């Protein structure tokens, strides 16, 4: 910790030196008078434009290049911020106009008052470029050509590694549970088992997650595995009558199948 300021000092000296010699575009500064504002007030001061644009980047979890004509990693001075070449910029204008309509409608609700909730980009986007739910992301991964439950598991792990704790997606146990049951309904028990197994990995203390895995395994024909997880579910929640009933059925089926 104590060495860090010295290192930072060296780094900033090096950077300052590099800036003198490198042939770089003029450094970026927020324009006092923007040239091409059609949704925001045309005379928006530089300070407010800066607040809106940095607000966009954090609301969507993106960088300037997501909407503007410029290469990621290039200095901002090399960007053409006036240009409309990036179609996402036009989408963002539609969003701005939509948000204006929404907030105008919200203000007509009676009785009004100081406690009115103001909608902003973040309300929908929650730090994500496309404001999808986790279940939608997982269904998308599953629907991709040639993809199976492995793609669902991979997408979940990816999203969780990036977004857990940020409020972008709800990683509660009910989501994987619901996606797994959808697979069961589509008569894909082997895929459902993979999803339920992931839920048990994430929520090993959840009686419900073990109960669902038990159901998936039974549907996939793995009765020994089903018994194991119904038993675990019952240990975690002795009030789980469904698990008790399923265990009875599975054990009597096992007995009558025995030679
Ligand atoms: C979500 C999309 C989005 C992101 C991300 C974004 N912008 Fe913008 N930006 C816009 C839109 C849309 C406009 C035009 C608004 C209008 O027409 O009223 C704009 C306008 C501008 C302008 C005014 C250009 C002019 O003179 O007309 C500047 C400068 C600018 N953005 C800089 C930035 C910077 C720097 C970043 C990154 C920190 C950034 N923007 C991130 C969408 C975005
Ligand atoms: C009411 C909810 C809502 C609000 C508020 C909202 N958006 Fe969106 N936004 C969406 C939806 C839904 C989509 C996906 C549209 C689609 O299906 O392609 C989207 C897509 C976008 C995209 C395209 C993303 C991509 O990569 O395809 C941009 C850019 C964007 N929004 C910017 C904004 C900005 C900037 C704001 C605030 C001014 C904003 N949005 C506010 C719902 C919202």
Residue 12, pLDDT above cutoff 50: no
CA of 111 to the centre of ligand 1 (A): 36
What's the mean pLDDT in 163-181? 96
Taking CA atoms only, the protein residue closest to ligand 2 atom 37 is: 121
What's the mean pLDDT in 136-148? 92
Mutate to test the pocket of ligand 1, among 63, 67, 122 (most ligand atoms within 8 A of CB): 67
Closest ligand 2 atom, CA of 123? Answer: 5
Higher pLDDT, 127 or 9: 127
Confidence of residue 74 (pLDDT cuts 50, 70, 90): very high
pLDDT at 249: 95
CA of 81 to the centre of ligand 1 (A): 6
Burial readout 214-252 (b: 16 or more C-beta within 10 A, e: otherwise): bbbbbbbebbebbbebbebbbebbeebeebeebbeebee
pLDDT at 1: 40
CA of 99 to the centre of ligand 2 (A): 10
Q: What is the pLDDT of residues 183-223, one digit of tens each?
A: 999 999 999 999 999 999 999 999 999 999 999 999 999 99
pLDDT at 146: 80
Q: Which ligand is nearest to the CA of 90?
A: 1
Residue 4, pLDDT above cutoff 90: no
CA of 60 to the centre of ligand 1 (A): 13
pLDDT at 2: 42
Mutate to test the pocket of ligand 1, among 32, 36, 53 (most ligand atoms within 8 A of CB): 53
List all residues 6 or more positions away from 115 whose beta carbon is below 8 Å from its beta carbon.
Answer: none
Q: Is 186 left (phi over 0), alpha (psi -120 to 50) or beta?
A: alpha
pLDDT at 18: 44
What's the mean pLDDT in 30-55? 96
């Amino acid at each position: 910790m104590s060495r860090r300021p010295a290192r930072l000092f060296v780094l900033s000296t090096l950077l300052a030196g590099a800036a003198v010699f490198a042939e770089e575009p003029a450094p970026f500064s927020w324009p006092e008078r923007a040239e091409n504002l059609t949704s925001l007030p045309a005379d928006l001061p530089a300070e407010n434009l800066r607040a809106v644009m940095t607000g966009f980047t954090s609301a969507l979890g993106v960088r300037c290049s997501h909407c503007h004509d410029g290469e990621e990693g290039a200095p901002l001075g090399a960007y053409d911020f006036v240009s409309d070449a990036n179609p996402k910029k036009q989408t963002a204008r539609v969003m701005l106009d939509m948000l204006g309509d929404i907030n105008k409608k919200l203000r007509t609700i009676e009785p009004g008052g100081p406690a009115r909730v103001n909608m902003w980009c973040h309300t929908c986007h929650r730090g994500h470029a496309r404001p999808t739910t986790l279940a939608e992301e997982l269904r998308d991964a599953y629907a991709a050509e040639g993809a199976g439950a492995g793609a669902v598991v991979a997408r979940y792990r990816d999203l969780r590694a990036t977004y857990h704790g940020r409020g972008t997606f709800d990683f509660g146990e009910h989501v994987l549970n619901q996606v797994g049951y959808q697979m069961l309904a589509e008569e894909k028990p082997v895929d459902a088992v993979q999803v339920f197994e992931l839920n048990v990995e994430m929520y090993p203390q959840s009686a419900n997650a073990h109960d669902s895995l038990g159901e998936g395994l039974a549907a996939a024909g793995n009765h020994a595995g089903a018994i194991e997880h119904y038993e675990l579910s019952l240990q975690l929640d002795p009030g789980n009558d469904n698990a008790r009933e399923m265990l009875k059925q599975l054990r009597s089926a096992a007995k009558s199948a025995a030679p």
